[in-house]
């Protein structure tokens, strides 16, 4: 991912509300589960997507943790 694209993605994610970030995180975790399941059953077609999803999940969780620190809530909630 280019640096410019990465910054655009981060800005888009930062513009989301806490609830939208949580929904996004849950959706990405569901997708990752489905891809892992397909991989185990031999039906996976795009292995790079697992890496991409893991990174997006990490980005989302990092943003949630940053917000929690700035609002004084403590650690980020885990789904």
Q: Taken in order 23, 20, 22, 29, is the CA torsion positive or negative?
A: positive
A 10 A CB-CB count for 35 gives: 19
Pick the CATH number of 3-70 from 3.40.50.12160, 3.30.70.1400, 1.10.3720.10, 1.10.287.310: 1.10.287.310
d(CA 13, CA 17): 9
Max distance between CA atoms of the chain, in angstroms, equals 45
Closest CA to 38 of 25, 23, 26, 53: 53
Quick: pLDDT tens for 27-73: 999 999 999 988 888 877 777 889 999 999 999 999 999 999 988 86
pLDDT band at 77, cuts 50/70/90?
A: low
72 SS3 class: coil
Domain coordinates in residue numbering, the chain: 3-70
């Amino acid at each position: 991912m280019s640096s410019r694209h990465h910054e655009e993605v981060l800005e888009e994610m930062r513009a989301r509300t806490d609830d939208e970030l949580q929904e996004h995180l849950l959706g990405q975790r569901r997708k990752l589960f489905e891809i892992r399941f397909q991989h185990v059953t031999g039906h996976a077609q795009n292995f790079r997507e697992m890496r991409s999803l893991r990174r997006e999940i990490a980005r989302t969780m990092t943003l949630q943790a940053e917000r929690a620190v700035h609002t004084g809530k403590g650690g980020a909630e885990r789904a």
